[in-house]
Structure 1
Amino acid sequence: MNATDPIDRNRQIPLGVANGVAAGAVWGLVFLAPQLLKDFSAAQVSAGRYLAYGLIAALLLAPRWKAVAAMIGGAEWRALAGLSLLGNILYYLFLANAVWWAGGAAAALIVGLVPVVVSVAGTRFAGAIRFRRLAGPLALCLLGVVLVGWEALANDKTAHDPLTRAAGLACAFGALLSWTVYSVWNTRWLERRPDISGHDWSLLTGVTTGALALVLAVPAFLAPGQGGHGETDWGLFLGVSAGIAILASILGNGFWNRASRLLPLTLAGQMIVFETLFALLYGFVWEKRLPTGLEWIAIASLIAGVVWCARVHRAKGH
């Protein structure tokens, strides 16, 4: 436990799980953005979200900028740049293109493996729970992801040519890899710098992401054929971008950093399941329907896997 987080061990896992659930609840909203902004390109949606993230983060940090910046050296800025690129810009570009080129079903099935891959990666950390003790919880989570993907594939209306679909699948695996590396790397830096709060680390990530998004914004908005939107479209674009930046990026990343500090990576990885669960919930509300039988089983499997994983870690005394 970090010296700056004097939380009783009996409260550490429940509090960490609560922060993980909160992160998933706001991250799930991200999957509604493409639905609301379907007339804009993936690059425009991504650039808009992260420009807003950078601007709002900079405004929140402004009163304390000198004090916070004094704590950050060259190594930290380089890490923040890499984390911003992997966990934000590249991940979201990969995800959006995977959805459009390979279909939401295939993208969800591959990207949904993030919790399992991150948890497996966490077993390699010193003092981590052995993989065999996590095999059961991970199998349940994997079953839930497969069932979600199976149900979505059965209703997938994507009709792209094989080459486009292959490119979409490659993007889905790119999203899986980029977020896995981000999660492990971010956890390492949070452990290395316990004197920086998770909220401030999120805001610093936002400032860095906003700077990188400026590079993305030039081709996204100025390239030929990227215009043709009316005032109402742009008003919706700005509102959704700001809303997602505040909820998913600033609050969501802050919750996630807190969870990452309180939980071992083998359990923190499972918290990403809640992004899938809340994305499903919001999707049901958007489509005005109840889950199908397979979706109910998938939801139960995902929740049971996380609860089982938490019990394993509490029994070990993490």
Structure 2
Amino acid sequence: MTGRAPRTYVVGLLAALMATALWGFTFLGPAAVAPVNVYYLVVGRYAVFGVMSLAVLAAHRGGLRRLGTRHLLLALHLGVVGYIGFYLLLSLSAQAGGGVLASTLTGLIPLLVTLASNATEKVLPWRRLVLPVAAISAGLLLVNGGAPHGRTGDGDVTAGVVLGFLACVAWSYFVIVNRVALNRVRPAAGNATWTACIGLGAFGASLFLLPLARSGDGPSPFSDAGTLRSFLLWCVALAVLGSWCATWFWNIASKRLPATVMGPVIGMEAVFGAAFNLVWEGRAPTFHELWGGLLVIAGVLLGSYLFNRANTPDDGHRPPTGEEAPAAGATGRSAEEPGTHAPARSGGRLPPGKR
């Protein structure tokens, strides 16, 4: 067997990168519709996402029946926690402690996902995760450390830190539980059905943000025809690209990659978001933005390389174990039975009750 990455792994990695790029695109939303209250944007975006999801479920009624009530409720709650819960907690963190603090805390997401996933899947020895995680964390801190440090006078740093950490936990929970759920429900429900159920959950929860939209700062998108037209176009773009397509690609990756790899890849969301904003602002990156982004990319590539090596047999460096056949045909045991060096997506998992 060569050291070349399996096709399934390559497809999963490309899908994960595409998802993070589309999520990074959504970072443009608040600036694009300013000074409209951002909560209106959230409700509008997920209203479009919800309508799309209803249309898909109407066309895939058989898949919805096969999904079952239990898994349907699981997908709905993932939409609530992963989309609305994360965004609301992050917004409250920014209000309490400042936008720089909230943005910097999102650097915990790759770390939380990677550590939690490796604790359950045992893909890599812990010492091998130190370098890629450190590179990604340093890169994200460097990018945010170069931003202007501003905070309102009545801000509460402690509350900002707590809310920001809870936001990171919410998104990390979505990444890990979504992957576990997808591996349990397939092939009963297709990717489109699962994505649509998540969309319905996000839409339903977004309706609770309407009071915040009406009472928050910023004008309504209905103030004039020009503002409304631009607002609706951005709602559709964010829903189609940043919600539907991004979730669809992420679900593809979730079926093919261990979350240990997907954790570092999440760090690319910040890089893509910064790149889109640079294009939007029409300027070159600062020193901190450039080298911080390069550190994140290096950490993602290193994590991917280490995982690929961990799943490529190396007879010259890996001693045989009692579970492996000493010679071809000597025992008749499969190389992918429990206890052997099988790919992480099919081995190394705890029973459902231990997750």
Superposed pair shares fold, TM > 0.5: yes
What letter corresponds to residue 24 of structure 1 in structure 2? T
| Correspondence for 2:9 among 9, 13, 32 | 13
Q: Distance in 1 between matches of 2:253 and 2:163?
A: 28
Asked if 2 retains the 8 angstrom alpha-carbon contact of 1:50 and 1:89, the reply is no
Bigger-Rg structure (1/2):
2
Cα offset for 1:11?
1.2
Asked if 1 retains the 8 angstrom alpha-carbon contact of 2:56 and 2:193, the reply is no
- Gap runs ≥5 in structure 1: 1-7
What letter corresponds to residue 255 of structure 2 in structure 1? R
Cα distance per residue 1:288-309 (max 9 Å; x no partner): 2111222222111111111111
Asked if 2 retains the 8 angstrom alpha-carbon contact of 1:113 and 1:176, the reply is yes
| Correspondence for 2:227 among 224, 233, 240 | 233
1:95 corresponds to? 90
2:149 corresponds to? 156
Q: Distance in 1 between matches of 2:232 and 2:19?
A: 23
| Residue 311 (str. 1) matches residue 301 (str. 2) | no
Q: Distance in 1 between matches of 2:247 and 2:120?
A: 22
Comparing both chains, which one has the higher relative contact order based on Cα–Cα distances under 8 Å and sequence gaps of 6 or more?
1
| Correspondence for 1:288 among 282, 306, 314 | 282
**Cα RMSD (Å) of the superposition?**
2.2
What letter corresponds to residue 172 of structure 2 in structure 1? T
Cα offset for 1:9?
6.7
Asked if 2 retains the 8 angstrom alpha-carbon contact of 1:284 and 1:290, the reply is yes
1:23 corresponds to? 19
Cα offset for 1:209?
2.1
Task: Classify 1:236/1:168 alpha carbon distance in 2 versus 1 (closer, same or farther; 3 Å).
Answer: farther
Task: Classify 1:224/1:23 alpha carbon distance in 2 versus 1 (closer, same or farther; 3 Å).
Answer: closer
Q: TM-score, normalised by structure 2?
A: 0.80
Q: Where does structure 1 differ by over 6 angstroms across 4 or more consecutive aligned residues?
A: none
Q: Distance in 1 between matches of 2:213 and 2:293?
A: 39
Q: Percent identity?
A: 26
Is the partner of 1:272 in helix, strand or coil? Answer: helix
| Correspondence for 2:36 among 20, 25, 40 | 40
Q: Distance in 2 between matches of 1:285 and 1:99?
A: 24
Q: Distance in 2 between matches of 1:168 and 1:38?
A: 23
| Correspondence for 2:248 among 229, 247, 254 | 254
Asked if 1 retains the 8 angstrom alpha-carbon contact of 2:95 and 2:155, the reply is no
Q: Distance in 1 between matches of 2:225 and 2:160?
A: 31
Is the partner of 1:125 in helix, strand or coil? Answer: helix
| Correspondence for 2:267 among 273, 277, 281 | 273
Q: TM-score, normalised by structure 1?
A: 0.88
Cα offset for 1:98?
3.2
- Gap runs ≥5 in structure 2: 312-342, 344-355
Deviates further, 239-248 or 52-61: 52-61
Is the partner of 1:70 in helix, strand or coil? Answer: helix
Q: Distance in 2 between matches of 1:49 and 1:171?
A: 23
| Correspondence for 2:129 among 131, 134, 137 | 134
Structure number having the greater helix percentage = 1
Is the partner of 1:124 in helix, strand or coil? Answer: helix
